[in-house]
Chains A and B, each alone.
Chain A
Amino acid sequence: MTETIVIAELSKGEISITTNELVSAANLLGTNCTIVVPCADSTIADKAGKISGVSKVIAAKSTVFSNYDAAAWAEAIDSVAPAGIVVTAASAQSKDLAARLAARRSISVIQDVIAIEGGNLSTPIYSGKAIQNVSVSGNSVISVRANVFAPAEDSGNCEVQVIDTTGNVTTALKEMVQRASERLDVSEANIIISGGRGMGTPANFTHLEEIADKLGAAVGASRAAVDTWDEIPHSMQVGQTGKTVNPNLYIAVGISGAIQHLAGMRSSKYIVAINKDADAPIFQHADYGIVATWEDALPVLSSSLANLMA
């Protein structure tokens, strides 16, 4: 069977649990899984050595990995990764890298894989309104959505081989503008609570923030909210022209459930909808629907969560 190569997914400079999920996916596609860890400091790769079901760990060490540069990352990773099926995460950055790696090797890339069955790969098309199943002959690069495959365990013991590498940098970081709020971004969160036009005013988003803080959740928004209120930045927008999210829990408050909003969040594991209109389309997609105004429902939700979590 084909060799597989997992490109470790990093979060805040550490190998994230998504990497364990990628190993599970890789072992469905082939054998002899090698993890490549892009790093400036190779000690972060030790964590990859503990993941079960891995035959080799390569710490690709280079200063180019201090900041993201698509061209340099692809070149540096390509030079140390063996040939085979390459598996990456489907975060914005990793999809970009996946496309680069595939092009560099003149092979195809399959993005956002949500299932692997009998050699076929499934991906959402038309924003999740349909699913496409494809088969690939030969090698390819595959990005895999988070929260789809059960993470491989951390009971392995694989030596880490450090290889120095480099790449040609084409962009220069001028400035990193820190996010105004300390809160998680919707694309990183496992729980999201989003507000729509039904919130009435942007100030009312504080009611969502209060619940978000309890749950360790991110706060999102519909496009109507983003377009209507300057206080709600586009970075919070979920949907067709916002972010695509895949959390365990998505709470939609005062959001009607337009098809373009659903495009960004329909694959969430659990969906809760709070809307005063019993006929709002969002209820067709909600696991738990509450027909009520948010003014009535949110205080109850907030205190119930506080009790349950106490």
Chain B
Amino acid sequence: MVNIAVLVKQVPDTNSKIQISGDRVDLSSVKMDISPYDEFAVENALLHKESSGGTVTAITVGSAGADKVLKGVKALGVDNIVRLDYDGFMDSNGLQSILAEEITAGGYDIVYCGKSAADTGAGSTGPGIAERLGWGSVSNATEVKFADGLTVSYPTEGGDAIVSVNLPAVVSCDKGSIKVRKSNVKGIMMAKRAQVDVKAVSPPSPSVTVVSQVMPPAKPAGKKFEGGSSAQTVAQLLRDEANII
């Protein structure tokens, strides 16, 4: 029986347009969704449970609005859903501290998460929590196998490394070749009635301050040519103007 945790995060749908008002990103009219890599983390967590037996608990950090993501994964077959209630900015030290505390309190054997969240793109949470817990970790896992201990593949400079991992451990998940399951009506109905276990947290005060959020500098308009023969002009420009060739 394995006690499995999976970390999920609510982020703007990757199709959405990001707008700035004042010096902050304005997400008020943006559709929110589960961060794409977290879907692979949830799938691996559920496959792990199906192979070894146990329970899967999904944990998120956020305000009540983030319950939607928890209900979404509940509908896929996650057993328990937990939200660490916090609305506001946390730096990586704060976030990892409260998550590591929750993982310790829950007595988990393994934590799955996405390789990075689609908003920050940082990818610090998985390895950062593992370090705080004194656990091993593998990041960017493209394949996870559960027979005779945990075996994880991840890409490296020299090819795909296949490693065996001692539990407890944190595995941050990349896309790989698994297909993620979709929820059915029964799952969705059940998830609607499910209770979110909401917990208060008090992170250490941040050492990072957000000064501003701005649009990326606009790129000057490019040059556009018609017809395949213009590839010759472009090759020339790559040498004379861009100094690349």
Contacts and interface: CB of A to CB of B under 8 A. Distances in A.
Contacts of A129: 17-18, 216
Contact of B235 (A102, A103, A179, A304): A304
A296 B227 contact: yes
B51 interface: no
Interface of B, secondary structure class, is mixed
A305 B18 contact: no
Interface string A85-108: 000000011011111101110111
Contact of B124 (A99, A177, A285, A292): A99
B93 interface: yes
A2 interface: no
A186 B123 CA distance: 19
A240 B163 contact: no
Interface residues on A, range: 35 or more
Interface stretch (A17-25, A46-54, A58-66, A242-250): A242-250
Contact of B118 (A96, A240, A309): A240
B92 A99 contact: yes
B85 interface: no
Interface string A136-163: 1110100000000000000000000000
Contacts of A295: 228
Contacts of A80: none
A170 interface: yes
Nearest to A299: B228
A6 interface: no
Contacts of B125: 99
Interface string A284-304: 011111111101111111001
A234 B176 contact: yes
A201 interface: no
B93 A106 contact: yes
A134 B229 CA distance: 47
B234 A109 contact: no
Nearest to A258: B15
Of B137, B161, B166, B238, chain A has the most CB atoms within 10 Å of the CB of B238
The 7 closest A-B pairs by CB, nearest first: A170-B136, A296-B228, A304-B235, A103-B131, A99-B124, A300-B231, A301-B231
17 contacts: A99-B125, A106-B93, A108-B91, A123-B120, A123-B122, A126-B118, A134-B209, A137-B207, A171-B169, A176-B156, A176-B162, A177-B153, A234-B175, A237-B175, A290-B227, A292-B230, A300-B230
Given A120-B211, A132-B212, A300-B231, 9 more contacts: A74-B131, A95-B122, A97-B127, A103-B127, A131-B213, A133-B214, A176-B160, A235-B155, A272-B238
